[in-house]
């Protein structure tokens, strides 16, 4: 779940910063003083909403490296690293995408993730726990799963969805914040609201942003099935099932909640609405059903 959680947290942080910038520049006060100009508010919301999402996409790979301490393999120093590079290169060539950067991060749990701004500018990283606890055919399937995420353009699609959601979050947060400010604090309509209005709007925006993440999580769950199918195509269906069974056996734990990527395993500790990955049983069943179809 690394890429999803990281992307969402980064997006929320950027939206908060953009909100502060709007307050400093007086844009929010202008909008509140001209509350009837919904067209202008919608344009503002779209510019800031899509802008925040695009910024999150642009820095996604950098954030992943910094947050997880990913060591990018510039030149293989041992047979394992060379095998990783060769396997990712073979999957990438088969998928018709540019060679991603390949990295390793320290974690006892078997996991992996892929992120990046485009199909030809991606990062695929695996944990030390994955290399230690999975067989080579299972790791190959996991790498195929991550390459499928890149080839399917999941990060770009996620960005567009998040941008649209951001737009409506900003739009309705300012409308609701303006209504509450006028009803509770009796702010002057001509001058716009003060700091109270700003904090109300930011709070409403954060709440709506969390609710919007339910839609993003639903999208993520659907893309996991497609990535599993891609991994099965690149490395073999039995190997993809074996990799998921290995995760199910208990050696894997969810990745930390400070990252958002389409990792290979997903959290089962939260409610289904906020799960970035479907339960492993459902993913395995989907692969087996596709084999028998």
Task: Of 240, 250, 2, give the one whose Cα is nearest residue 109.
Answer: 250
Helix, coil or strand: residue 118: strand
Distance CA(156)–CA(118), nearest Å, equals 7
Distance CA(258)–CA(175), nearest Å, equals 31
Task: Of 132, 67, 60, 134, give the one whose Cα is nearest residue 100.
Answer: 60
Helix, strand, coil share of the chain (percent; to 5): 70, 10, 25
Distance CA(64)–CA(197), nearest Å, equals 35
Helix, coil or strand: residue 135: coil
The DSSP H or E segment spanning 285 is helix 280-292
Q: Among this protein's residues, is 146 annotated catalytic? A: yes
Spot the catalytic one: 81, 138, 140, 146: 146
Distance CA(88)–CA(102), nearest Å, equals 8
* CA end-to-end span of the chain: 29
Tell me how crowded residue 34 is: count the other CB atoms within 10 A of its CB: 14
Give phi and psi for 191, each to the nearest 5.
-90, -15
Tell me how crowded residue 188 is: count the other CB atoms within 10 A of its CB: 12
Task: Tell me the catalytic residues.
Answer: 146
């Amino acid at each position: 779940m690394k890429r999803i959680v990281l992307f969402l947290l980064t997006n929320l942080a950027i939206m908060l910063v953009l909100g502060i910038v709007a307050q400093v520049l007086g844009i929010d006060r202008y909008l509140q003083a001209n509350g009837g100009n919904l067209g202008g508010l919608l344009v503002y919301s779209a510019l800031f909403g899509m802008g925040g999402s695009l910024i999150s996409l642009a820095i996604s790979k950098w954030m992943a490296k910094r947050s997880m301490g990913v060591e990018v393999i510039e030149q293989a120093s041992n047979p394992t690293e060379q095998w990783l590079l060769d396997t990712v290169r073979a999957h990438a060539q088969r998928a018709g995408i540019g060679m991603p950067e390949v990295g390793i991060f320290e974690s006892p749990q078997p996991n992996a993730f892929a992120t990046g701004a485009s199909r030809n500018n991606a990062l695929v990283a695996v944990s030390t726990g994955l290399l230690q606890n999975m067989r080579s055919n299972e790791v190959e399937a996991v790498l195929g799963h991550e390459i499928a995420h890149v080839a399917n353009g999941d990060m770009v699609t996620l960005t567009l969805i998040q941008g649209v959601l951001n737009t409506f979050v900003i739009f309705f947060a300012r409308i609701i914040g303006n209504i509450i400010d006028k009803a509770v604090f009796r702010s002057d309509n001509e001058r716009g609201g003060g700091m109270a209005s700003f904090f109300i709007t930011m709070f409403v925006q954060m709440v709506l942003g969390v609710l919007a993440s339910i839609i993003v999580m639903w999208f993520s769950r659907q893309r996991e099935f497609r990535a599993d199918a891609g991994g099965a195509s690149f490395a073999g269906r039995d190997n993809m099932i074996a990799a998921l069974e290995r995760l199910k056996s208990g050696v894997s734990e969810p990745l930390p909640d400070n990252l958002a990527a389409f990792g290979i395993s997903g959290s089962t500790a939260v409610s289904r609405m906020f799960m970035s990955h479907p339960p492993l049983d459902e993913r395995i069943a989907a692969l087996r059903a596709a084999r028998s179809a």
